[in-house]
């Protein structure tokens, strides 16, 4: 592994860790775990609250290019989808097919840059109808990543059955948990994260 390991976490409010009293989210916890194991990565949190895959597709490349120079071991974690599936005026902000196409474009562009990629699927919220749309998008994302040989963590399927996550989401704003919820999210991601970084 390069001594100049840099990781961009690109996504929405869950990447940013909204609601976490410790201001770590799952991305901060994974970075801390790697550092404790001797993997000194420079991590950039590029989570923006409210952003959809359309918003992310418009901004991510410029943000990553200045943080991941050619000489570095540049890596990108993508995570989004909950905002795409929010209903506005009776329809999702971004339909599932467009969201999936956006993911495919992001993955192809990252591969062209030589960046290793990890994709984290959208987590559940406290709304059963919304969760059905998230579950559908999660399945599309999972299939797309499998076809392209990209590591994918289907967080929806595990977190919807996770008591800590769901209780914290309900106790919060209906979407974002507190510190314990993000810790549960990070624990779910940890095995794949370790394989991705090889430690």
Q: What is the DSSP string of 118-155?
A: EEEPPPP-S-HHHHHHHHHHHHHHHHHHHHHT-EEE-H
Q: pTM of the predicted model, to two decimals? A: 0.97
101-155 per-position pLDDT tens digit: 999 999 999 999 999 999 999 999 999 999 999 999 999 999 999 999 999 999 9
Q: Which pLDDT belongs to residue 3?
A: 82
User: CA 124 to CA 195: how far, in whole Å?
Assistant: 24
Tokens of 33: 């775990």
Q: Which pLDDT belongs to residue 1?
A: 54
| Angle at 115 (CA atoms; ends 113, 120), nearest 5 degrees | 130
Assigned CATH class of 5-197: alpha beta
User: CA 85 to CA 82: how far, in whole Å?
Assistant: 5
- Residue 38, sorted as left (phi over 0), alpha (psi -120 to 50) or beta, turns out to be left
Confidence of residue 2 (pLDDT cuts 50, 70, 90): low
Tokens of 52: 């959809």
180-192 per-position pLDDT tens digit: 999 999 999 999 9
Q: Which pLDDT belongs to residue 25?
A: 98
What average pLDDT does this structure show over 45-72? 98
Confidence of residue 83 (pLDDT cuts 50, 70, 90): very high
Query: CB neighbours of 106 closer than 8 A, spacing ≥ 6?
Result: 53, 56, 57, 60, 78
Instruction: Decide: 184 and 164 in contact? Cβ < 8 Å.
Output: yes
Question: How high is the mean pLDDT of the chain?
Answer: 97
| CA 90 to each of CA 1, 52, 147: distance values in angstroms, whole numbers, following the listed order | 48, 17, 32
Q: Is the pLDDT of residue 52 over 70?
A: yes
């Amino acid at each position: 592994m390069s001594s100049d390991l840099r990781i961009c976490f690109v996504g929405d409010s869950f990447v940013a860790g909204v609601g976490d009293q410790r201001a770590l989210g799952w991305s901060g916890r994974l970075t801390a775990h790697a550092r404790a194991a001797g993997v000194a990565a420079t991590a950039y949190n590029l989570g923006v609250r409210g952003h959809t895959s359309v918003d992310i597709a418009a901004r991510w490349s410029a943000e990553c290019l200045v943080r991941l120079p050619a000489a570095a071991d540049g890596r990108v974690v993508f995570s989004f989808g909950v905002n795409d599936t929010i209903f506005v005026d009776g329809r999702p902000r971004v339909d599932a097919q467009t969201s999936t196409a956006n993911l495919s474009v992001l993955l192809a562009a990252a591969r062209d840059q030589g960046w290793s990629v990890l994709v984290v699927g959208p987590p559940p919220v406290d709304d059963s109808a919304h969760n059905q749309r998230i579950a559908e998008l999660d399945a599309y994302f999972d299939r797309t990543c499998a076809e392209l040989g990209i590591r994918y963590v289907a967080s929806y399927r595990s977190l919807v059955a996770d008591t800590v996550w769901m209780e914290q989401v309900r106790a919060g704003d209906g979407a974002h948990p507190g510190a314990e919820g993000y810790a549960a999210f990070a624990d779910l991601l940890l095995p794949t994260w370790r394989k991705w970084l090889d430690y």
